[in-house]
């Protein structure tokens, strides 16, 4: 017995994951740039590169570790 979702293939699972990762990635970059006044240029470049190249773990580390270091008043 075929279900109605069998015609979609793996896209039904991949698309929400990709959208979620893109939202995490974009959200972390926005958060980094909002706190850029509290960072040096090298720190800003380093965090952006880390988030872009470590696509899943980079944003998580930013949100759990890095964001609190650069709180703006």
**Total domains present in the chain:** 1
pLDDT at site 55: 83
pTM comes to 0.76
Going 44 to 49 to 54 to 55, the CA torsion angle's sign is positive
Which range of residues forms the domain containing residue 63?
A: 15-69
With beta carbons less than 8 A apart as the criterion, state whether 38 and 70 touch. Answer: yes
With beta carbons less than 8 A apart as the criterion, state whether 44 and 32 touch. Answer: yes
Q: Specify if 23 maps to a domain.
A: yes
pLDDT at site 73: 54
Q: How far apart are CA 37 and CA 35, in angstroms?
A: 6
Q: Specify if 59 maps to a domain.
A: yes
Per-residue pLDDT of the chain (73 residues; tens, 9 = 90+): 455 656 667 767 888 888 999 999 999 999 999 988 888 989 999 999 999 999 889 999 999 988 888 776 5
């Amino acid at each position: 017995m075929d279900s109605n979702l069998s015609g979609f293939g793996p896209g039904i699972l991949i698309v929400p994951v990709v959208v979620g990762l893109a939202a995490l990635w974009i959200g972390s970059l926005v958060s980094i740039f909002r706190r850029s006044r509290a960072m040096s240029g090298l720190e800003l470049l380093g965090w952006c590169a880390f988030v872009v190249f470590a696509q899943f773990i980079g944003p998580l580390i930013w949100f759990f570790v890095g964001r609190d270091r650069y709180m703006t008043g």
